[in-house]
Every structure is written in structure tokens, then in C-alpha cells.
Structure 1
Amino acid sequence: MKRKKDATSQTSTSWQNVHGWYDKKVGKSGHEYHQSVIFPKLLPQLKGSVVDLACGQGVLGRQLPKTATYAGYDIAPDFIRLAKEQDTLKNHTYFVQDVTKPIKSSETFDHATVLLAAQNIENLSGLVRNGKKLLKEGGAFHLVLNHPCFRIPRQTAWGEEKERKIRYRRVDRYLSPLSIPIQAHPSQGKDSPTTLSFHKSLQDFMKPFFEAGFTLANLEEWTSPKKSEGGKAKMEDRAREEIPLFLYLKFV
């Protein structure tokens, strides 16, 4: 009997096959949550040089001051091509690189960042080791995640209690590590390009950082600023204000 392949063997963790879709979604200045939540909260902290691991098409680099030294690494060649096309500053450099494997660079930086990408990387330990190597003494590692407690693909959802007029977040699984295929274009069915999301609990996200010698310096939970209209607006807005969309972790 032939052994059935698991999801990880059938689907690449690189986003090379969805680079065009992702570039259109993010654009030059970031998608709506980059612009309304992530960048306003994160950019003021990035004083100095930055290494961006799993940088995608380089959206963070384009938001930094033009004088800032920046290096972006990503495994997808077309992401790096797009990044270079949109950012020609000489002090901004981009490299095709699996960020879970040793990065051969002697340059060090004030900050390391991973923005909305850690949950697409199975080998967090390799990622963290690279961040440790590339940081200056006293540097900070910044991680922005879809909140791993409340935003698990296929395992969390909104629900309503009509009598109490409340909206709640249902969580079906949390502690178990999960490998979840995500279709870029669900309407295409099996023909849709597929990526993988790797769910880990909060303790499992933190463990590789502690093992590498990092200390947790800050933890923040960021909510969506969206506002609803209509009869359910109050209920929906309250739920968004109470149940965070993103988790920010800072390690030093």
C-alpha cells in the first residue's frame, strides 16, 4: 500500500506560487491592516537599521526612512524581484534566502522583524537563530502574528447569541500544533494555488526565542479598527474591540 502524503509534502511553504496575488493584495504601501494597525504601532519603534526576515515583496522596507539601512530576506524569488523593482535605494538590499537556514552575512542590525509571516514557517528555531545572529548586542526582535489564540484558520469563527445580542469568538482547537492548507482562490477549488499555515500555541511560539537566549520585553494585542453599519453594528464593534486580531511580541 502506498503511503499517503501529508499536507506539508504536497504544498510548499514558499509563497512563490502566490506572489502575484499577494503583491496585488498588499500593494506598495501595505493592505488596510498594515496601514491602520501594524505600521502606526511598529514603525516608531524601528529606530536604526532593520533586517526583515520573510520580507515578502518588501512592503516594510518601503515604509522606513530613506536613510535607514535595511535588508530583506525571502525564499520566493519573485517576491525579491518585486521588492527590488519597487525599492531602489542603495542602502536597502534584498536577498533570496530560506530564512530557516543559516544566513551567511557578517552584517548586524538594530532590529529584526517578522511581520505576518511566522505562521507560514514550520521551522521557527531556524528563523530565530538567524535573527539572533543578525542582531547587534542589545538589538530587538519584533514579531507580528495573527493572534494565535483567536485567529486559527478553520478552527476559530464568529458566533452570535441573538437573545443576549452578543457576538463571540468560537475556538475549536488551540494547544495542538496544526498544519493548515490555505487556498489563495477558494472559488477555483483544487486548481487554486495553496499555501500552508502552521498554527502554534503562544507557548510554542515563545519557546524557540527563550531557547536562543532571548527575553520577552513586550507583548501587545492589537484590535481591528473597522466599524460596522446596520442593526448589528454595536454587537460587532464591541466584539472587535474585545477580541484582538494581532499579537505583537518583542524579544531582546
Structure 2
Amino acid sequence: MAAWYDKLVGETGSDYHRNVILPATLRMLAPQAGESVIDVCCGQGVLIKPLLDAKIGKFTGVDASRRLIESARARHGDDPRVSLTVADACRPGPWADGKNDAATCIMAVHDVPDPVGLFKSIAQALKPGGRVIMVFMHPCFRIPKKSHWGWDGDQKIQYRRLDSYGKPLEIPITTHPGKGSGEQTVFYHRPMSELLTAIGQGGLAVTACDELYSHRRSQGNGPFSKAEHAAAEEFPMFIALKAVKP
């Protein structure tokens, strides 16, 4: 499924990456010249160019997919500041060497079966006092197959309907919708309390949070468009957390 994902995200990111996720990540991370930054679950390296443009000293990328790491190497492997490793981020490894000033984990927390293991690895990769920015689908409002938009004709509002939230779920996701390939990944939904507890168990302390809203807006002027605008400003799609290694 790596080729599909590489095409979906590409070198500069999807529409949501470019307009919402990456700007929030860079703003909260505030990378400094000369810093060593590790991107855990880096995929095809969508953060590499923005971080190198910020003049960091070293970028380390870790991902379990060999094909996505190969895609990252094809784009950025010639830069001496870039190091890319194939590894399971939920398990300890030599890449988590405690030498990084900062870390990122973008759109991956909901893709791993062992969140405590992931957070422990991130903590082990950081220097004491190091920081990490994690961005992922908002567990309260964006649960695949369990959250939907609805229309209330009497109130003229668009609302968010949740069919499930409190129980952890493993939700199969078809990677090539409409093509009948049968290839699937798993989305791991966890309520917010479980995620925050797992972060603490992993050795990290949350210091900041930002809820990220869609940049997309309807182009019409009717009641449906106005309701869509209002809903887009009320229900966040992603959540960004900043945590530190004490």
C-alpha cells in the first residue's frame, strides 16, 4: 500500500497537509537552526524539506515501511543532513539514541497498535527537556465509519453525529476506494483519556494542545453553505499535542 500512500501525500503533502497539518506542526515545533530533529513514522518524508529549510542541523526519519523510506531516500537521500531508517517505532531500537532536540509524529498515532510503545520510543529518542509535536485525527470528532455529518432542516444547522467514542476500536480502512483491490489498513481509535494516559506512561508530559479545523469552505451562499461554514469552525478535524521529555 506504500505506492498508494506515496501518491496520496507526495513530496509536499496532501491538501490538508499543506494548509492545516504542516503549518501547525512547524508553528508548534518552532525548529531552531542547528537542531537535531527526528520524525517518527516519517512515511515518504513530507517534513524533510520544511525542516531543512528551517536550517536544522540533522533530520532523522524512521518508518516501518521500507518502500516509503525508499521514496524518502529518492527525494532527499543525497543531503548529508538526512538519515533514514526502516524500523518499528513501537519497539526500542538504536535509532532512539537520546540525542535529538525535538521530534515529530504526524498522522500516525492512530495507525499503530501499541501507543505506549510508540511514546516510549519517542521519549527515548529525545534529550532530557526535548519536545515532540504529534498531530493526528481528532479522536472526539473524526472516527472513521463512526462519525458523520447530518443536516437539521428545522434548525438549519449542520451537526456532527457520533455513533461511538468511549470504546477503543480497530477500524479497517480500504486503501483504494472503489477499485475493489481489497487492500486495507487498520485505524486504531482510542478515547482521549486513554491517549493522554499512554503518553504519560511513555515518559512524556503534554504541555500544549491545539485543535485544528478544516480550511475548506463551501463556495455557495445558501443555508446549506452557511451551515457548512459554521460547522467547519466548530468541529475540529485534527488535534495537535506538544509534549516534553522531563
Q: TM-score, normalised by structure 2?
A: 0.91
User: Which structure 1 residue ranges, 5 or more long, are not aligned?
Assistant: 1-17
User: Which of 71, 93, 110 is 2:60 aligned to?
Assistant: 71
Instruction: Give aligned pairs, total.
Output: 234
Deviations along 1:171-203, one digit per CA (max 9) or x if unpaired, are: 1110100000000122133x3311010000111
C-alpha distance in structure 2 between counterparts of 1:198 and 1:212, whole Å? 18
User: Which of 213, 229, 232 is 1:223 aligned to?
Assistant: 213
Q: Which residue of 2 aligns with 1:238?
A: 230
Q: Which residue of 2 aligns with 1:177?
A: 168
Q: CA deviation at 1:107?
A: 5.4
C-alpha distance in structure 1 between counterparts of 2:103 and 2:11, whole Å? 21
For residue 178 of structure 2, give the secondary structure of its aligned residue in structure 1: helix
Q: How does 1:122-141 map to 2 (within 5 A)?
A: 122-141=113-132
Q: Which residue of 2 aligns with 1:34?
A: 17
1:247 matched to 2:232: no
Q: How does 1:184-203 map to 2 (within 5 A)?
A: 184-189=175-180, 191-203=181-193
1:84 matched to 2:69: no
Q: TM-score, normalised by structure 1?
A: 0.89
C-alpha distance in structure 1 between counterparts of 2:98 and 2:126, whole Å? 9
1:117 matched to 2:102: no
Deviations along 1:40-93, one digit per CA (max 9) or x if unpaired, are: 222132332211111110111122125421100011110000000011211111
Greater mean alpha carbon deviation, residues 141-150 or residues 228-237 = 228-237
CA RMSD of aligned residues (A): 1.3
Q: CA deviation at 1:212?
A: 3.0
C-alpha distance in structure 1 between counterparts of 2:106 and 2:165, whole Å? 21
Contact 2:98 2:125 in 1 (8 A): yes
C-alpha distance in structure 2 between counterparts of 1:123 and 1:213, whole Å? 14
For residue 82 of structure 1, give the secondary structure of its aligned residue in structure 2: helix
C-alpha distance in structure 2 between counterparts of 1:121 and 1:46, whole Å? 26
For residue 153 of structure 1, give the secondary structure of its aligned residue in structure 2: coil
